[in-house]
Structure 1
Amino acid sequence: MKKFIFLTVIISTLLSCSSDESFDNNPYLARPSFKYQINLELPKYANIGNPGSAIYVNEPYVGISGVFVYNFGGGTFTAWEAACPNHIPNGDCLAMSLSSPIVTCGCDDYKYDLLTGSILTNPDTKDDKKYYTLQPYNVYYSSASNSITISN
């Protein structure tokens, strides 16, 4: 149990302190301003209650194409933009499909990890194109209200 808590703290620290420029300089995705609260008592969000689970939040004005929320366990969550990070959002490239802990872009079948946001597919690097990770959002978990607040 101590190892799990230690690992959770390390991963959480790395995610919150990341200075990876691909998060900030993605030319395909805007940085929308929003704040959305998820009440974990609602049946609609029951699937996010277990460690290792993820949900897709598709509400108006939440992200660009919605948000994926992943439960690490121990009150630690991540939230990522649901739009494909390596395309301008349109048509088939709107929202990725979820198969926790992996999301897949419908345009190119690139796969991304909801734990770290990193791309799992090995893109063709011969084209000198820069490939982007998932766009992160801020997450705050409140055990008092049993809710998660996602914001940007």
Structure 2
Amino acid sequence: MKKFWLLTLFISVLFSCSDNNLSNKNPNIPSYPVNLSIDMNLPAYSNLKFVSNGIIIPNYGAKGIIIFNAGSGYNAFDAACPNQAVNSCVAMTINGINALCSCDKSEYSLFTGLGGKEYPLKQYRVEVSGTVIHVYN
């Protein structure tokens, strides 16, 4: 009986853990499959080698993918404004260490994805292998 309770406890803890705390339950941004790899040795992406630099890669996700070097790793977010309908705004732009929404001029931190509105930026998973950054969901 004791083994049963330990097993039950272990299984409940296992299923209550998330893989990396991505919370992408946003009704404004559809879930598109994303599988993108870029090489920072290419001139278009070489700025990502430096902390606090970001780039937008169009034609992925809903409005493009923002990749940002946060110093402790890389973050990847959808460039769609998270608190607007996806077809009402053009892609967000990078404004220093923030992403700027073209519709309501809201800014979102590229370190955390937070912006003081109801929904944060839609985040994607990131893996780095040498100079290659892989973004996926």
Identify the TM-score tier after normalising by the shorter chain: 0.7 to 0.9
Contact 1:100 1:114 (C-alpha < 8 Å) held by counterparts: no
Matches within 5 A, 1:84-103: 84-91=81-88, 93-103=89-99
SS of 2:33's equivalent in the other structure is: coil
How many percent of aligned residue pairs carry the same amino acid?
30
Give how far 1:98 is off. Answer: 0.6
Q: How does 1:2-151 map to 2 (within 5 A)?
A: 17-18=20-21, 23-58=23-58, 60=59, 62-73=60-71, 76-91=73-88, 93-120=89-116, 131-143=118-130, 146-151=131-136
Root mean square deviation, CA, Å: 1.6
> Does the aligned pair in 2 maintain the 1:78–1:114 contact within 8 Å?
yes
In the alignment, structure 1 segments of 5+ residues that lack a partner are 1-15, 124-130
Which one has a bigger Cα radius of gyration? Answer: 2
The whole-number CA distance in structure 2 between the counterparts of 1:94 and 1:86 is 13
Residues in 2 aligned to 1:135 and 1:42: alpha-carbon distance in whole angstroms:
26
Count of aligned residue pairs for this structure pair: 119
Q: With the length of structure 1 as denominator, give the TM-score of the two structures.
A: 0.73
Distance 2:115 2:102 in 1: 14
**What's the secondary structure of 1:47's corresponding residue?**
helix
Runs of 4+ in structure 1 displaced over 3 angstroms? none
Cα distance in 2 for residues equivalent to 1:24 and 1:82? 13
Shift of 1:109: 0.7
Instruction: Give the structure-2-normalised TM-score.
Output: 0.80
